Structure 1
Amino acid sequence: MSAKILVVDDDPAIRDILVRILQRENYTPITATNGLEALDKVVHESPDLILLDVTMPILDGFEVCRRLKDNERTALIPVTMLTGLDDREHRRRGVEVGADDFLTKPIEQSLLRARLRSQLRIKRLTDQLDRTESVIFMLALAVEAKDAYTEGHLRRLSSYSEQLALAANLDQHQVKAIRLGGLLHDIGKISIDDAILGKPSQLTEEEYNHIKRHPEEGARIVAPMRFASEVGPIIRHHHERWDGSGYPDGLRGEDIPIGARIVAIVDAYDAMMTDRPYRKSLGLEEALRRLRAGRGREWDPDLLDLFIRLIEDGRLIEPESEDSRSRLERQL
């Protein structure tokens, strides 16, 4: 069954163009000419994705998006807002009301096709997850999308953290919390300026202090969620160091939650093994050398030894690439 896409625009010419493109791509288009009609169509048609114009009579796109995202039954429907060229204010307001993506008018067809596939892939995934897992997934993608250099980082970190937790013989409840902590450890970076995250040169002291706020911000963001008591401390303390020189609270040794100690190790490893704006991947040999150099200073010595054994024994498994996962999703 083809994906059902709701096109919301008061301009009949734009609606017609979008409908023709969607039909050529074998999607099922639905149309609405204003915001109130759009909300009614969402209730009765349950679209898989919404293409939503910003400027409309009766109810504008921002208010439509806000109402959809505030409603638990419609919050996970991807909303792509259609904005004018370089309209930063519209994009800012769109982010505030929860828009998932933006397309600039006039719309480039190849870009539209790619964005549709991407958003519908997310929708298929969230349809398979329970409510909590869906929220986690969407939040994690929002963080990762801010920094092209960290593509796949959250997926790998969640998997590596889970593997190390299992190797440490932690119970199933702890393992799940650590897996989610790995996925959400950097969620606080939503509040960090993109220019700072992607800066290709050394950060100033002010910029570094700005970034150092992200563990506390992340713990605050997940606080209303039902798993906050288990996952929040992992997020808050994943930059603490074994010797007490980390942040935000200067915890040391086993005062640092074990989940945070695990995420700290695998986060450092993955950062060393991937390209960043300011340097290329360090390679496995140098990454292992640096990990050993920080044993008992930056990282829990016993957990670090266990993680290095996983690597050297060939037991640390990298999760499937996005392309492989996309092929799997098409088969589901």
Structure 2
Amino acid sequence: MVSGEKAKILVVDDEPANLRVLENLFVPSNYEVYKAETGRDALYLARKAGVDLIILDVLMPDMNGYEVCRRLKEDEALRLIPVIMVTGMQETGARIKGIDAGADDFIGKPFNMVELMARTKSLIKVKALNDNLIDFENVLISLANVVEAKDAYTEGHTQRVANMAGMLARKMGLSTQETKAIRLGGILHDIGKIGVADSVLNKPGALTPEEWESIKLHPKTGYNICLPLKKMLGSALDVIRHHHEKLDGTGYPDGLKGEEISLSSRIMAVVDIYDALVTDRPYRKGISEKKALKIISREADEGKLDKEVITNLTEAVGG
């Protein structure tokens, strides 16, 4: 919802009289109301109108409210829209089914108008906060793209490591939420390089000690840039800060050892090095996948990288 615009509410009920009741409640309170009498129409309007809240009746002829809610929450573009489920059934089982489907709140029939209005205002505020966080996340991703554009030799690096890390996370049994976080961490992992001079990033020769220290600051810088999004980024923040840590404690910025480094960060450490090895850089041509796997396997033997991650990567790329 854009600041200053009316919040948009979609009410879904197969009884026209109930739709009129809700319309008469919300329109005078400066809400824009959309109405749907079927589940299919509800899904269509949710996508087309960009609504901020859905009030959804459970009992409908073509597709019940549970199924509509489930489809909304499975759709990446719609899943953050709050859903209030309306039911005349007071059994606990009905509410459990609604929770399983992803409902955010419940209200019974007949409506308590004061209660419904209060819950509506509260959930629309939550939606607005989530929208602001998503906008901020998109700004960060755009900023990460700007960082990547500073170095022509790393074009596509963030997307490649994000995809590869996500693939390994799934292969190694991480949850859907953890997999999403590591992919986002992959996109944002080098965002701290915004503070590194282009001349350092693109230097064809060896870095001076001072230049190397400026490079080593980027995980902390990236972490601090992204910290305001802590609730949304979750473990992606850990990936941003710790993707250069080593199991033997020789990494940076915090010198973590062994299990102190999360599995997500250990995965990112491996794929970040692997992609750097196989990609052309200012000072050398990329090497073959086979040679890259040998190099990172040697680092694992030296106690720096996670052997299990490398085994899974080797299986994935066919090395």
Give the TM-score normalised by structure 2: 0.56
Find 1:311's aligned residue among 288, 297, 317: 317
- C-alpha contact 2:147 2:194 (8 A) present in aligned 1: yes
Number of residues paired by the alignment?
Answer: 185
Distance apart, 1:135 and its partner CA = 2.5
User: Aligned equivalents of 1:293 and 1:232: distance in 2?
Assistant: 28
Deviation digits for residues 191-218 of structure 1 (CA, Å, limit 9, x no counterpart): 0000000000000111101100000000
Distance apart, 1:139 and its partner CA = 1.9
Q: Is residue 224 of structure 2 the alignment partner of residue 254 of structure 1?
A: no
Give the partner amino acid of 2:210. Answer: E
User: Aligned equivalents of 2:189 and 2:280: distance in 1?
Assistant: 19
Larger radius of gyration: 2
Q: Is residue 286 of structure 2 the alignment partner of residue 302 of structure 1?
A: no
User: Aligned equivalents of 2:175 and 2:140: distance in 1?
Assistant: 21
User: Aligned equivalents of 1:136 and 1:209: distance in 2?
Assistant: 24
User: Aligned equivalents of 2:247 and 2:158: distance in 1?
Assistant: 23
Aligned to 1:191: 195
Distance apart, 1:283 and its partner CA = 1.5
Q: Is residue 290 of structure 2 the alignment partner of residue 285 of structure 1?
A: yes
Give the partner amino acid of 1:263. Answer: M
Give the partner amino acid of 2:277. Answer: M
User: Aligned equivalents of 2:166 and 2:234: distance in 1?
Assistant: 18
User: Aligned equivalents of 1:222 and 1:134: distance in 2?
Assistant: 12
Distance apart, 1:228 and its partner CA = 4.0
- C-alpha contact 2:161 2:275 (8 A) present in aligned 1: yes
User: Aligned equivalents of 2:141 and 2:211: distance in 1?
Assistant: 28
User: Aligned equivalents of 2:141 and 2:254: distance in 1?
Assistant: 28
Aligned to 1:212: 216
**Moved beyond 4 Å, runs of 4+:** none
User: Aligned equivalents of 2:176 and 2:140: distance in 1?
Assistant: 19
Aligned to 2:105: none
Q: Is residue 247 of structure 2 the alignment partner of residue 221 of structure 1?
A: no
User: Aligned equivalents of 2:170 and 2:233: distance in 1?
Assistant: 21
Find 1:153's aligned residue among 144, 150, 157: 157
- C-alpha contact 2:219 2:253 (8 A) present in aligned 1: yes
User: Aligned equivalents of 1:228 and 1:219: distance in 2?
Assistant: 11
Distance apart, 1:133 and its partner CA = 4.9
Aligned to 1:172: 176
RMSD between aligned residues: 1.6
User: Aligned equivalents of 1:251 and 1:232: distance in 2?
Assistant: 15
Q: Is residue 240 of structure 2 the alignment partner of residue 235 of structure 1?
A: yes
Describe the SS at the equivalent of 1:269.
helix
Distance apart, 1:136 and its partner CA = 3.8
- C-alpha contact 2:181 2:233 (8 A) present in aligned 1: no
Task: Structure 2: give runs of 5+ residues left out of the alignment.
Answer: 1-133
User: Aligned equivalents of 1:178 and 1:243: distance in 2?
Assistant: 22
User: Aligned equivalents of 1:229 and 1:178: distance in 2?
Assistant: 10
User: Aligned equivalents of 2:136 and 2:265: distance in 1?
Assistant: 21
Describe the SS at the equivalent of 2:235.
helix
User: Aligned equivalents of 1:222 and 1:287: distance in 2?
Assistant: 31
User: Aligned equivalents of 2:138 and 2:223: distance in 1?
Assistant: 18
Give the partner amino acid of 1:194. Answer: D
1:47-196 equivalence runs, <5 A = 131=135, 133-196=137-200
Distance apart, 1:230 and its partner CA = 1.9
Task: Structure 1: give runs of 5+ residues left out of the alignment.
Answer: 1-129, 314-332
Deviation digits for residues 265-313 of structure 1 (CA, Å, limit 9, x no counterpart): 1001100010001111112221111011111522111111111111117
- C-alpha contact 2:181 2:234 (8 A) present in aligned 1: no
Identity of aligned residues (%): 45
Describe the SS at the equivalent of 2:174.
coil
